[in-house]
Amino acid sequence: MPTYTPPIDDIRFVLEDVIGVAQLAALPGYEEAGVDTILAVLEEGGRLAAEVLQPINQAGDAEGCHYENGVVTTPKGFRAAYDAYCAAGWPAMTAAAEFGGQGLPHLTRVVLDEMMCAANLSFSMYPLLAHGVITVLERWGTDELRQRFLPKLIDGSWGGTMCLTEPHAGTDLGIIRTKAVPSDAGSYLITGTKIFISAGEHDLTDNIIHLVLAKLPDAPPGTKGISLFIIPKRVVGENSASGESNGVRCGSIEHKMGIKGNATCVMNFDNAQGWLVGEPHKGMRAMFTMMNGARIGVGVQGLGLAEVAYQNAVAYTQDRLQGRALSGAKNPQGEADPIIVHPDVRRMLMSMRAYTEGTRALAAYVGLQVDVELLHPDPERRQEASDLLALLTPILKAFLTDVAFEVTNTAMQCYGGHGYIREFGMEQFVRDSRIAQIYEGTNGVQAMDLLGRKVPEENGRLVKRFMAIMSADLAAAAGDATIADIAKPVADAAQLLQKVTMGVMSRAQANPDEIGAAAVDYLRIFGLVATGWMWVRMAKAAEAQRASNAERADAKAATARFYVTRLLPQVHALAMQVDAGAKPVMALDPARW
């Protein structure tokens, strides 16, 4: 059975020394969110993950969710775990104090989500969806809607979902058919079917609040005709009491490859009463508040799975005796050496370690920008954070989940045949991680968002801003003899990224297919470079602490050097693939396939 230990020491290092979490206490509203407070909260969250959520993960995967006549039952232990989660106040952590929230920085939610997803991804998705509904209502809901729905969502009494796509639509939301008709009560009656709805029905709460995309009778075609509605599973009466059914029913649950402890539902709305969120026909703008948060959340799901897979692979390779080291026996008293002595096993472990620690720093950096964009008193600083978030969100979602699938597969490989056996837990991590590359927009869609929308935005303003910040860090590191050999390969890769960017943008002016053909490889280059930048920052921070923590300084330096010599060089092959252009991709006539 796999185990999980929250990496609190590394989390502390990243927050304190790499991204400077102390700056949050200077933001209005976060005055009491000092470093010690944040870390104390996260240590408690780690205990919840390790002691409450992880022990029910493997059993929950084996049992799965049960569906009968519209009712969904979660696996044994999930309800008790959810009650413990709510009793400790975790749903309220980052919500507004006005409605019962604790008002902690959003960065803390990013870190907590990593630990919860590492411990039990299926469970973590239930509160994650509710948190998304909270953020949408806080920003876009009327005072009446906030008063009606937020308190129960914030204390965890109610769950939440986002209902976007339909059987025929997929990612093309402009062709959805769900209809909303105005009613005499000032609300709307919504009818339609939504699919792939995570946490759409379950027994953890007595009500579930759905955010649903639908079209009004006078809606223009395409995404410009989409409106957003909030629909409770049960009618909400006085004092927010849950009443009779509101025309919302789960038609079925999917039988999935992974995340089996979370119900993925077909949801039917039959004249369900709902209320408009935001303006008519502008629902996508409001829903993107939840979708962008969910994209960051899915990236963090990947990070959590990578961490737990890595931890277990390390433990296994330290204990498993097989063969002798090429350089001579390391365990001469035993019949064989632990397999961690073998170079290929060490290569796998170092790859997992370098990706996981590097992307943890990148996720924390992005999480920090959420709070800066929201609360920084300087408009220019808020705009900078907004630009960084817009650029890095699709990268975080796609790169971290691609890496997670690689890391979980590599961890399974470390186990050999035992990795393929259920009791060791590795095959579950592989299955669970695979969905993250698909939902909340496939990684190909994320790549198209990055290269087709974010990179060219306002003549490249977002990319130029990011490059300026990163280049300043790399230039400073180049003058530090202790880490110059780490900084130079990253600086070279950053220059290559700039060259590739200009090349594909130039070719795309003549042939729009260039964007689609290059997008996935381009995003991978960007993710590798951004993670390399984080490794430069980590190596620098650890080196500054060498006198007090030589062990960490040595470990970070060794891992950073592995990253820049063994993983970062992928950018050169990827750049060649991008520069090959669209012709090799599009040359074969579809009629000949």
Check the CA dihedral 27-30-36-40 and report its sign. Answer: negative
Confidence of residue 288 (pLDDT cuts 50, 70, 90): confident
**Which residues are registered as beta bridge partners of 194?**
267
Check residue 35 and give its pLDDT.
93
Identify the pLDDT of residue 67: 98
Give the Cα separation of 471 and 39 in Å (integer): 30
Q: Which tens digit of pLDDT belongs to each residue from 374-422?
A: 999 999 999 999 999 999 999 999 999 999 999 999 999 999 999 999 9
**In the prediction, which pLDDT does 119 show?**
98
In 3D space, the residue among 421, 425, 542, 406 whose CA is nearest the CA of residue 486 turns out to be: 542
- Residue count of the chain: 593
What integer pLDDT is reported at residue 1 of this predicted model? 86
Sign of CA dihedral 303, 304, 307, 313: negative
281-312 burial code (b ≥16 CB/10 A, e <16): bbbbebbebbbbbbbbbbbbbbbbbbbbbbbb
Q: Report the pLDDT value the prediction gives residue 360, as an integer from 0 to 100.
A: 98
Question: pLDDT tens across 540-555, in order?
Answer: 999 999 999 999 999 9
pLDDT at 170: 86
Indicate whether 133 pLDDT > 90: yes
Hey, what CATH topology would domain 8-149 get?
A: Butyryl-Coa Dehydrogenase, subunit A; domain 1 (1.10.540)
Please say if the pLDDT value at position 525 is more than 90. Answer: yes
Q: Kindly report, residue by residue over 15-26, the tens digit of the pLDDT.
A: 999 999 999 999
- CB of 134 within 8 A of CB of 153? yes
pLDDT at 286: 87
| Comparison of pLDDT for 267 and 184, the residue scoring more | 267
Percent residues over pLDDT 90 in the chain: 95
- In Å, the largest CA–CA distance within the chain is 83
User: What is the C-alpha separation between 73 and 82, in angstroms, rounded?
Assistant: 13
Query: Taking the domains of the chain in order of start, what are their residue ranges?
Result: 8-149, 159-287, 458-588
Is 80:88 a contact under the CB 8 Å cutoff?
Answer: no
284 has pLDDT over 80: yes
- Contact assessment for residue 416 and residue 395, using Cβ atoms and an 8 Å cutoff: no
Cα–Cα nearest to 129, from 65, 210, 54, 206: 210
Note the pLDDT of residue 524.
Answer: 98
pLDDT band at 333 (very low <50, low <70, confident <90, very high): very high
What's the CA gap between 313 and 316, in Å, rounded?
Answer: 5
Q: Catalytic amino acids? A: 440
Confidence of residue 536 (pLDDT cuts 50, 70, 90): very high
Q: Are strands 264-277 and 207-214 parallel, antiparallel or unpaired?
A: unpaired
Structure confidence at residue 241 (pLDDT): 73
pLDDT band at 171 (very low <50, low <70, confident <90, very high): confident
CATH code of 159-287, in short, is 2.40.110.20
Taking all residues of the chain, what is their mean pLDDT, rounded to a whole number?
Answer: 96
471-515 tens-digit pLDDT:
999 999 999 999 999 999 999 999 999 999 999 999 999 999 999
Q: Across residues 126-142, what is the average pLDDT?
A: 95
Euclidean distance between the first and the last CA atom of the chain, given in angstroms as a whole number: 45
**Which tokens in the block code for residue 243?**
């009443």
User: Who's near 61: CB < 8 A, 6+ residues apart?
Assistant: 122, 258, 260, 261, 428, 432
156 confidence band (pLDDT: 50, 70, 90):
very high
Portion of the chain with pLDDT greater than 70, in percent: 100
118 or 285, which is more confident?
118
